[in-house]
Structure 1
């Protein structure tokens, strides 16, 4: 489903909200307001704490794509690149923004955002990997912290204003540039020069990450060159990636020279998962176009094209047509998880929840604690009236310490269906907290404390959580 563009007014509110939130966060992170050069950069630990705070703000503000299969693929690709980065910490998080424009952004602590339009527009998997590797380099080289290291006031309010501008610039460059400049309280030209130097360094390191992960490093300059060609062909429609990641002739030439230093052969081919995810994104963003292209195309027998066609038909409500499109496909043609999840989704939409549970139970045995499987399996169990089993499946993943708001929402539904009102509202409070909706989180905890099934042990746990949320609100 295509999410419409957020209005500029919302982005202005994002900037104001982030600056406002800096006051309680400043005490938590204990950042200096003034300092000598040794304190000009926040510590890596502080940067990760800041990243976690901003992650909740991004969840609250930006139109994220919550499709578990798409998110699992991007997380897997991102972690593969992180594991090939010598100086990277293990706490990177990768978000998918439901936006057809070509763009990506990075935040401190290892938060990487990637638009669905970026995946859709890529000619191959190496181009998607190139963009992610570039953003990883911004994080490992601490460019975001360095952007405001020269300010006379080094505090979290300054940092949040700058970072709000970085996020906002992905959706309205004018708002973003104003926020960055205002947050830095520095000259425009100095900021641009610094940004260009950072971009060139991120290219250099990103190319090395690509090669280490066995992706063709030429994908990075190739992608840049294609973006520049698109902007020249239509000057009124410059790709958002170029607005937030300015590409100059010197930068393009430098990245080409560095990529040519690596061998030309021996790199990964496009994975089947990449082709399927790209087809899924295209089908969800524009079902009509996917259906038309498949119907008149020469690749009607191509398994990935049939998968995309089935996804588009299901988006239009044609469950019978979607089932026929998948008929005969096997897990050598389409990855088992993607194929079975779509088959289960068709069964659910066709009012056959028991068949969906059967498909997903078998899949859960093969891929236990795999996010897309757990999410769909728990949802199907709720439709067949098995909330306690759904909670068990969900907890198998949440007990690993994963921060998954979507699973928390499902768990709250399951607890409510099982008659566990206090636990349901406690879980909803966690869900809202991770979405940055602290007031609603507190409200759910207050309701939980009034639930008729509240036990002393659960009450103590909820009161402890309430104290934490009240601190954030203050």
Structure 2
């Protein structure tokens, strides 16, 4: 039988705490943050793209390593939202709106905003605000989570959910405004230090703030959302510039070409439809005849592929690979274009070549396993992805994907087990328990397999609140009826 995915220990499970707690512990912060992300994911607001995930996580952790923060487990994710904004949540969860990345002019500006959000977490501004006005802050946090989860369960539109959130936030805004401003200044000061230590231009944070402030001056009604959630002013920008000027002159060379490629990938994914994405690149090519930057051609290739013009897309990605065979995104672009064209053998050959060149690379392995699954080779797809996930913690999407592979293979016990891990990663403990019980109900389980499932079930069950236990019982009753 297949071995289990290596996941975290019980440290990954929430610490429920007690009613006597007067401070939010880091484990409680994590539980709250994970609940909010779960709501965002269920609402379709979290972007599930292996290449973008790999990029934004890598950039975030390049900054975090200089924070020397052993308390928080940072998680970075892209949000499907055109608004120019980013936000830090309890527990080290940091969301970056697609609109923000598209508004930045270089990677240093993007890193600057992310460094600012990392500083909000490391300085525990959520907890410090709770200390200052504990009742208001705790009620607001609880209401915010409720707004998200109610919106999800009632099928509210993203706009309606955003309205609920804004009402919740607005109720506490007046009491918090002065404290928020001091937090913003501190996050700037600390974040600029992280930015410079990671090798990025320290003044890029102030540069981006200045751009946002200029946009606000042109039209107050069109002010970026970033300014509504991050109070700005001339003094704050000047202070950020002065802070950056204190760093000694040197070459800051952390900029990566991945930023330019992923920004174009994001542009294509966020387009209203495939026609609009292709139209954008056709206009760009018409405006600038002659050789184009590789990142523009990469976006053009993706737009062609998504529009179904697979042969043209293959030509673009082949040209890019002939120039740079070390860029993973080009290999995957070619393989996916071949798949769209119906060239299954060619696509799998391209995937296999990338898999050999970049062993155990997460985006490559995920894409290759998906290609194998489409080709009807579920057992091989299962083995390939399992080899990766036994070495790196899976995302919820990867856990869901390997569950699909096990199911296609007819291995229903492991399919339920992996779905349990999917729900656990998303913080839905009752559903995680429910899926483990379904796994244990499968016939012909091997003794080792049964023991593993039972141990995992006991481990998770310890953290179920009475309400969660009732939810798990309702799920079992519905499935047995």
Shorter-chain TM-score tier = 0.7 to 0.9
Aligned to 1:326: 317
For residues 433 and 326 of structure 1, what CA distance do their matches in structure 2 show?
38
Residue 204 of structure 1 corresponds to 189
2:125 pairs with 131, 136, 143, which one?
Answer: 143
Per-residue displacement from partner, 1:23-75 (whole Å, max 9, x unpaired)? Answer: xx997123635x4xxxxx33334434544444434433451111110110111
Counterparts of 1:299 and 1:29, CA distance in 2: 63
Q: Distance in 2 between matches of 1:27 and 1:140?
A: 20
The alignment status of 1:407 with 2:392, answered yes or no, reads no
In the TM superposition, residue 364 of structure 1 has moved relative to its aligned partner by 2.0
Cα 1:31–1:201, aligned 2, differ >3 Å: closer, same or farther?
A: farther
Compared with structure 1, are the counterparts of its residues 26 and 312 closer, same or farther at alpha carbon in structure 2 (3 Å cutoff)? closer
Give the corresponding residue for 1:421: 412
Query: CA 1:425 to 1:140, structure 2 compared with 1: closer, same or farther past 3 Å?
Result: same
Deviation string 1:277-308 (CA, Å, 9 cap, x unpaired) is: 11111122221343333331316522221111
Structure 1 residue 177: Cα displacement: 4.8
Task: Report the CA distance shift for 1:431/1:45 in structure 2 as closer, same or farther (over 3 A).
Answer: closer
Contact 1:60 1:435 in 2 (8 A): no
Gaps of 5+ in 2: 1-12, 152-157, 272-276, 470-481
Cα distance 1:26–1:298, how it changes in 2: closer, same or farther (>3 A)? closer
Q: Provide the secondary structure at the position in 2 that maps to 1:147.
A: helix
Partner of 1:359: 350
Q: CA deviation at 1:360?
A: 1.9
Deviation for aligned residue 1:84:
1.9
* Residues 1:251 and 2:236 aligned together: yes
- The range that moved more, 273-282 or 299-308, is 299-308
SS across alignment from 2:299: helix
Q: Secondary structure at the match of 1:112?
A: strand
Question: Aligned with 2:421: secondary structure?
Answer: helix
2:417/2:436 contact within 8 Å kept: yes
Distance 1:396 1:300 in 2: 44
Give the distance between the partners of 2:337 and 2:279, measured in 1 at CA.
20
Question: Match of 2:78, SS?
Answer: strand
Give the CA deviation at 1:335.
Answer: 4.9
Q: In the aligned structure 1, how far is the partner of 2:178 from the partner of 2:14?
A: 29
* CA RMSD of superposed structures (Å): 3.1
Within 2, Cα distance between the matches of 1:253 and 1:173? Answer: 32
Deviation digits for residues 111-130 of structure 1 (CA, Å, limit 9, x no counterpart)? 11111111111101100000
Q: For 2:105 and 2:51, how far apart are their aligned partners in 1?
A: 20
Distance 1:158 1:234, change over 3 A: closer
Query: Is the contact between residue 387 and residue 415 of structure 1 (CA under 8 Å) also seen in structure 2?
Result: yes
Relative to the length of structure 1, the TM-score reads 0.83
TM-score normalised per structure 2: 0.82
Residue of structure 2 equivalent to 1:216: 201
Greater displacement, 102-111 / 388-397 = 388-397
Instruction: Report the Cα distance in structure 2 between the residues aligned to 1:363 and 1:396, rounded to whole angstroms.
Output: 16
Relative to structure 1, is the Cα distance of residues 388 and 31 closer, same or farther in structure 2, using a 3 angstrom cutoff?
A: farther
Query: Which residue does the alignment assign to 1:235?
Result: 220
**CA distance 1:195–1:165, change in 2 (3 Å):** farther
C-alpha distance 317-439 of structure 1, shift in aligned 2 (>3 A): farther
1:127 equivalent to 2:113? Answer no
Deviation, structure 1 residue 324: 2.0
Deviation at 1:457, TM superposition (A): 4.1
The answer on 1:381 being equivalent to 2:372 is: yes
Name the CA distance, whole Å, in 1 between partners of 2:281 and 2:398: 31
- Tell whether 2:338 aligns with 1:347: yes
State the 1:264 CA deviation: 4.8
The answer to whether the 8 A contact 1:341-1:360 is kept is: yes
Partner of 1:471: 464
Say which is worse superposed, 407-416 or 363-372, in terms of deviation: 363-372
The alignment partner of 2:76 has SS state of: strand
Query: Are 1:112 and 2:94 an aligned pair?
Result: yes
CA–CA distance in structure 1, aligned partners of residues 249 and 283 of structure 2: 34
Residue of structure 2 aligned with 1:296, choices 279, 286, 290 = 286
Task: Verify the 8 A CA contact 1:112 1:136 in the aligned structure 2.
Answer: yes
Closer, same or farther: CA 283–26 of 1 in aligned 2, 3 Å: closer
Change in CA separation of 1:328 and 1:422 when aligned onto 2, cut-off 3 Å:
same
Deviations 1:143-196 (A, max 9, x none): 01112113455997664446778999x9777643542465x6xxx443100000
Contact in 2 for aligned 1:173/1:244 (Cα 8 Å):
no
Q: How many residues align?
A: 439
What is aligned with 1:176? 165
User: How far 1:89 moved relative to its partner?
Assistant: 4.8
1:387 offset after TM fit, Å?
Answer: 2.0
Taking the aligned partners of 1:149 and 1:433, their CA distance within structure 2 comes to: 30
**Contact 1:59–1:436 at 8 Å: present in 2 too?**
no
For the Cα contact (< 8 Å) 2:430–2:464, is it kept in 1? no
Taking the aligned partners of 2:19 and 2:322, their CA distance within structure 1 comes to 52
Distance 1:352 1:437, change over 3 A: farther
